[in-house]
């Protein structure tokens, strides 16, 4: 099987994508596939000749262009098979404001939020709150704001990554994540960061977070979270694989976002959950390719 592995891109998550792509290539080679690394910056349209004869494109991109429906639409235009959700679902999930609206309209909990604009009265914001780019991943530009003095700085940071800034109520609780693979939920992972929130430093620096899998949640609640995760995954139009993030507070779980292209190194959250369910990293990559084809 010929697999082209798209990685890099021009987003803030370029380095994370290259790590994902490198891990995927190693797994593909273990599986006996012909894996070709396709690393690029922002000129993805020039890649057509390289990838059009692949059996499948493994999309190892993260962030804008790779995860927001742009690459997906382009691949669909040329009828090229690829991993992950389609362009519509990718576009919806990358837009946190839009995906949260859909989730709330379907009667699932999500923290109150609004998009920052010049008409917002800053004096009405409740603290603490979370300030983040509306369409970005890997916690880039994310801040927890305790008071109005820090708000302007947080908005400025988030604005470096996206013109739309989302301000979300902070809910103190347990950070959990649910991986989905072929419409089946994987074991729930609880994230225990050293900081008050799971920020970039905690996400990518060894020793800054602990990952508990399966999370210590009673069986009936675990099953309910898993059922609802599948339902949200379907409502948002996703397919193949993905990962949903929640805050668990006193038995209630609040949807934060759905990551359609989660990190895929051996130490990333989705592979941790897959390993707990009995799938090695190589088997996980094989399964993703199988369901995508």
Query: How does DSSP classify residue 270?
Result: H
Strand order through the sheet with 165-169: 113-115, 165-169, 129-133, 143-145
- The residue annotated as part of the active site, out of 4, 263, 268, 292, is 263
Handedness of CA 170, 173, 179, 185 (dihedral sign): negative
CA 63 to chain centre: 9
- The residue annotated as part of the active site, out of 204, 249, 277, 286, is 204
- The residue annotated as part of the active site, out of 63, 69, 245, 253, is 245
Cross-strand partners of 35: 3
- The residue annotated as part of the active site, out of 86, 90, 259, 268, is 259
Strand order through the sheet with 2-8: 34-40, 2-8, 56-59
Is 259 one of the catalytic residues? yes
Q: How far apart, in whole angstroms, are the C-alpha atoms of residue 196 and residue 126?
A: 17
- The residue annotated as part of the active site, out of 9, 11, 13, 95, is 13
- Please write down the long-range contacts of 72-81, taking CB distance under 8 Å and 24 or more positions apart: 74/44, 74/45, 78/48, 78/52, 80/51, 80/52, 80/54, 81/54, 81/55, 81/56, 81/57, 81/292, 81/293
- The residue annotated as part of the active site, out of 67, 168, 228, 257, is 257
Is 41 one of the catalytic residues? no
- The residue annotated as part of the active site, out of 134, 138, 143, 292, is 138
Is 263 one of the catalytic residues? yes
CA 209 to chain centre: 18
Neighbour count for residue 16 (Cβ, 10 Å): 24
Is 243 one of the catalytic residues? yes
Is 14 one of the catalytic residues? no
Is 257 one of the catalytic residues? yes
- The residue annotated as part of the active site, out of 243, 253, 268, 292, is 243
Is 204 one of the catalytic residues? yes
Bridge pairing between strands 129-133 and 241-249? unpaired
Neighbour count for residue 55 (Cβ, 10 Å): 14
Which amino acids are annotated catalytic? 13, 138, 204, 243, 245, 257, 259, 263
């Amino acid at each position: 099987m010929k697999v082209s592995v798209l990685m890099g891109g021009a987003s803030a998550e370029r380095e994370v994508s290259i790590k994902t792509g490198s891990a995927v290539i190693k797994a593909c080679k273990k599986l006996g596939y012909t894996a070709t690394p396709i690393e690029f910056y922002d000129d993805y349209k020039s890649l057509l000749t390289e990838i059009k004869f692949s059996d499948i494109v493994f999309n190892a991109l993260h962030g804008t262009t790779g995860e927001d429906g742009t690459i997906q639409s382009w691949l669909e235009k040329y009828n090229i098979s690829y991993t992950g959700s389609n362009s519509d679902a990718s576009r919806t999930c990358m837009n946190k404001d839009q995906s949260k609206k859909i989730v709330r309209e379907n009667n699932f909990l999500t923290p109150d939020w609004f998009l920052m604009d010049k008409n917002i009265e800053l004096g009405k914001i409740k603290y603490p709150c979370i300030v983040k780019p509306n369409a970005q991943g890997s916690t880039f530009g994310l801040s927890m704001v305790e008071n109005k003095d820090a708000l302007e700085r947080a908005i400025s940071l988030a604005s470096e990554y996206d013109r739309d800034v989302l301000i979300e109520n902070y809910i103190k609780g347990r950070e959990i994540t649910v991986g989905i693979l072929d419409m089946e939920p994987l074991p729930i992972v609880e994230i225990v960061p050293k900081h008050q929130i799971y920020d970039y430093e905690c996400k990518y620096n060894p020793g800054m977070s602990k990952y508990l899998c399966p999370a210590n949640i009673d069986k009936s609640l675990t099953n309910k979270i898993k059922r609802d995760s599948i339902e949200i995954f379907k409502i948002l139009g996703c397919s193949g694989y993905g990962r949903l993030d929640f805050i668990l507070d006193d038995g209630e779980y609040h949807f934060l976002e759905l990551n359609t292209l989660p990190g895929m190194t051996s130490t990333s959250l989705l592979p941790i959950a897959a390993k707990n369910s009995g799938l090695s990293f190589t088997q996980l990559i094989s399964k993703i390719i199988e369901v995508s084809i």
